[in-house]
Every structure is written in structure tokens, then in C-alpha cells.
Structure 1
């Protein structure tokens, strides 16, 4: 059985709601044996719709983090959870970016001080600075390719 799309399951949920609405209308307008036969037909139709919905919905991927389920169960909006999560990730990224920039500055300052203290190591220090700078550029290019923007 091919996995169903969320849109197909959404349509089936709408069908179940429609079946429930028809049962409600038939119950409200009860007119004897004809209505009873119609109710039996509608309830049978509802049971079939629910069975199809259950089968198709169980084939959907269910990779929802438990934190979101708990969030929704406590009556909170999952969009707020997403916004808070994105803000937390942005703060973490800003912290790591600042830390990376501080370490880059320290690396450069250390290299300069090492060359002042040991001029004979200038070539080695330059090679280390150049290779670490090249690695940093490669990491930034990966970030640009992944995110589409530079950090």
C-alpha cells in the first residue's frame, strides 16, 4: 500500500466530519422507520470512512518530537513552540559565531606575538595561519551553501 499524503488524509477527515454531520441531521429530523434505515446506512458509512482513515493515517510518517506533542497536549500553540525553538537556535548560533570570531582574533594575535618573540618561526607561523584561515573560509562556504546566506 502506497503511503498517503497528508492532503488525502485531510480529505478523509473532512469526509468523516460530513458523515457525522449527516448523522446529526438525520437524528434531529427523526421520522420513524425510514430515518432508522437511513441512520443504519449513515453509521455503516461512517464506520467505513473511519476504517479507511485509520489505515491511511497509520501509513503517514509520525516523526513528531514528543516535546511538541506535550506542548499541544497542555493546550499551547505549536507555532509558538516553533518560534521559541528558532529564537533559541539563533541565540546559540550568535553565541558560537562570537566565540569563533574571538578565537580567530586570538589566533591572529598569538601568531603576531609569536613572530615578534621568535622571528625565525615567521614562515611556520604564516603557514599555520594561512592553513587555518583556509579552513575557516571553507567552513564559511559550506554555511553559505547550506543556508543560502553568510553568517
Structure 2
């Protein structure tokens, strides 16, 4: 299996989180490839399936190594519950950003009103 190219941070060090995301993408691609190969399985492509399974194991090993480097990252329980409900975490973030922007606007209006009274 080809190794994952290491994403770089601004200071030149590799970013384990970005590398883990890239490896998970590769893992999902490998799973999809294996599903296709198994749907079209015959004795002629058994070596391709075997190679894909070997690559899949290597991806899992890399995920295991990389996850140890990012154990310090904490995910809020609300996000985990959102994902457990089968919802997209990107939608959670978009809703959260909208909510913060609305609160920010409300505080800005209050600050402007207070400044007019002073």
C-alpha cells in the first residue's frame, strides 16, 4: 500500500489529525473497492481481493498508530450525541456557527445601545 503523504502544518511538522483524516478516507475507499470486488468475485480476481484486504489491514494499522498521537483532542458530548442520532456533524457545526453569530449580533446591538446612553 502506498504510504499516506504527510500534511504539513505551518511550522513544518506533520499534522496527525489531518493525516488521520486522510487515512480514514483511504480506508473508506478501500472498503468500497473490496465491496465492488466481492460483488464481481470469481477465481480470477482472488489475488486482487487478497491484496485489497492486505491494504485494508495496513490502513487500520495506520489509523491505530495515528489515533494514539491525537488522544488529547476532546469532542463535546453534544457532537457525539448528534452523530449517534445519525446526523451530519457538519450540520451541527453550521448550526453552531449561526447561533454564535446571532448571539454576537445581539451583544453588539446591546453594546451600541449602552454607548448611546453614556
TM-score by length of 1: 0.50
Paired residue for 1:132? Answer: none
Cα separation, partners in 2 of 1:71 and 1:100, compared to 1, 3 Å: farther
Give the secondary structure class of the aligned counterpart of 2:16. Answer: coil
Find the aligned partners of 2:80 and 2:30 in 1 and give their Cα distance. Answer: 28
Gaps in structure 1 of 5+ consecutive residues? 106-151
Q: CA deviation at 1:49?
A: 0.2
Find the aligned partners of 1:54 and 1:99 in 2 and give their Cα distance. Answer: 54
Alignment partner for residue 30 of structure 1, among 37, 41, 46?
Answer: 41
Aligned length: 100
Alignment partner for residue 29 of structure 2, among 6, 18, 38?
Answer: 18
Query: Which stretches of structure 1, 4 residues or longer, exceed 6 Å deviation after superposition?
Result: none
Find the aligned partners of 2:115 and 2:78 in 1 and give their Cα distance. Answer: 31
Task: Indicate the RMSD between aligned Cα atoms, in angstroms.
Answer: 2.9
> Highest relative contact order (Cα 8 Å, sep 6+), 1 or 2?
2
Compare the two structures and name the one with the higher helix fraction. Answer: 1
Find the aligned partners of 1:72 and 1:30 in 2 and give their Cα distance. Answer: 34
Find out whether 1:54 has 2:69 as its counterpart. no
Find the aligned partners of 1:48 and 1:97 in 2 and give their Cα distance. Answer: 58
Bigger Cα Rg = 1
Q: CA deviation at 1:26?
A: 1.7
- Could you tell me whether the CA contact under 8 Å between 1:68 and 1:81 is conserved in 2? no
Paired residue for 1:66? Answer: 77
Cα separation, partners in 2 of 1:67 and 1:88, compared to 1, 3 Å: farther
Q: Could you list the per-position Cα deviations for residues 121-140 of structure 1 after superposition, in whole angstroms to 9, with x for gaps in the alignment?
A: xxxxxxxxxxxxxxxxxxxx
Find the aligned partners of 1:46 and 1:79 in 2 and give their Cα distance. Answer: 32
TM-score by length of 2: 0.61
